[in-house]
Amino acid sequence: MSALVHIGTRPETRSGAVPRHKWRALHPQAAQLYLENRCHLDCRHCYESPATHPPAHHLSLAEYDALFGELASLGVLFLTFTGGEIFLRKDLLDIVALARRHRFAVTLYTSGTLIDEAMADRLRALKVSEVHVSVYSHDAAVHDAFTQVPGSHTKSVDALRLLKERGITTVLKANILRCNVDALDELMALAASLGAEIQLDPTVRPRLDGDTSVLDQGVSPEELRRKVLVRPELAPAFRRHAAEELCSGERKLLDDDAVLCGAARDVVAIAADGSVLACAFFPTDAGRWQAGVPGRSLEDIWLQSDQLDAVRERRFATMHRCGRCELRPTCNPCMAFGLVEHGDLGACNSASRHGAAALRGLAELKAQANAKMTRGRALPIVGERDVVVAPPLQGRPLLQTEP
Ligand code: SF4
Ligand code: SF4
């Protein structure tokens, strides 16, 4: 049985048929699949826990074959394989090969520590789209202290090199952390020297079992604003005109009736045991996919889950406390973390509050700068929903901002 809490799927009809449903026209384009919950690293900020990601649950290769067929039927084009450490699965490359036979574009998230030359050769042959490797510092000692495994930095960096030598697109990924916030330039230089793109995530998320102690690894909203967001090369997409309006509440990143994110709409996630999630950060599942079991197909769960409906229907206006919150104009609330921290999709949560506070501080700073600004000089100012999305680096935002 899944250790993820099951929230509920409407019972099948008596005939076993899937009832017509108002969301029938909604098709996810991307799926994130947890293939392996085990990990041989022990990163200090990891959001997984044995309670939410038990090590023993795995789908077989035959089950993945069936699941990929259903994902394709649902309209999915892009698969991301994540863990745990996906390379701990001995049949990982067989799963990738299967996904490629189903004609999915495949991206891998890994520490890279188990990638050797032979694996890199096979990944090239399989034409994976991208491999994302987590590297938390340019300094091996800092990275190894963070992963709590000596030698992990050398292996991750070697993997990025091996993959790039074979022409595979690589992304060096890191959260912005207390241990690296003062050396982001060096981290970017490391990525450039490896021919890798870089993606920085300004947030650290609570563990999916509700433990918030890992948030200490992240930087405060004030530090994030002062050291990261104000740097035009990291976040230049700010618009001059909106800062004052964001501060006054005249303008908001998201309207009251806007969809909050792509969870259960553009994306679907599948846990290692087949449990279906609205997105990869949901701590509770919408039902467990089972090959060939009536009422347990992906389409059945996608169309019949009360939880997925609740996610799709949630708007800012139905978040519980946002109407009275001073951070409302700069917030983009995450339902998954409302559920993690308070068991409630509509609840405020640390990750959302943190991001909103950083943007609020930045808007205030820029509004002050605007007030002093001489006529005709444009300063980079915070503005629209994509405010902290830096300029695309080879088509990719440098700063990943969705929680
Ligand atoms: S910080 Fe919390 S209460 Fe305020 S707008 Fe964001 S989610 Fe709502
Ligand atoms: S904002 Fe939260 S709920 Fe939405 S996709 Fe991102 S992590 Fe999931």
Ligand 1 atom at shortest distance from the alpha carbon of 333: 7
* Ligand 1 pocket: which of 328, 334, 341, 342 to mutate (most atoms within 8 A of CB): 328
Ligand 2 in contact with 266 (CB < 6 A)? Answer: no
Percent of the chain with pLDDT over 90: 57
CA of 326 to the centre of ligand 1 (A): 8
Tokens of 61: 């290769």
Q: State residue 394's pLDDT score.
A: 36
Higher pLDDT, 369 or 35: 35
Q: How far apart are CA 63 and CA 76, in angstroms?
A: 17
Q: State residue 209's pLDDT score.
A: 80
Confidence check: pLDDT of 98 > 60: yes
First-to-last alpha carbon distance for the chain, in angstroms, is 28
Element (DSSP H or E) covering residue 336: helix 335-342
> Which amino acid type is present at position 119?
M
Instruction: Confirm if 36 and 84 have CB atoms less than 8 A apart.
Output: yes
Among 132-136, 339-343, 362-366, 376-380, top mean pLDDT goes to: 132-136
Confidence of residue 232 (pLDDT cuts 50, 70, 90): low
* CA 370 remoteness from chain centre: 34
Q: State residue 208's pLDDT score.
A: 79
Q: How far apart are CA 321 and CA 289, in angstroms?
A: 34
- pLDDT tens digits along 387-399: 333 333 333 445 5
* CA 198 remoteness from chain centre: 15
* Ligand 2 pocket: which of 265, 281, 349, 354 to mutate (most atoms within 8 A of CB): 281
Confidence of residue 242 (pLDDT cuts 50, 70, 90): low
Ligand 1 atom at shortest distance from the alpha carbon of 326: 4
Average pLDDT in the chain: 84
- Prediction pTM value: 0.85
Ligand 2 in contact with 262 (CB < 6 A)? Answer: yes
Instruction: Confirm if 118 and 107 have CB atoms less than 8 A apart.
Output: no
Q: What is the mean pLDDT of residues 153-175?
A: 97
Identify which of 134, 217, 218 has the alpha carbon closest to the alpha carbon of residue 173. 134
Q: Which residues contact 135 (CB under 8 A, 6 or more apart)?
A: 143, 153, 156, 157, 160, 172, 173, 174, 187, 190, 191
Q: What is the mean pLDDT of residues 59-80?
A: 97
H-assigned helices in 8-132: 61-74, 92-101, 117-125
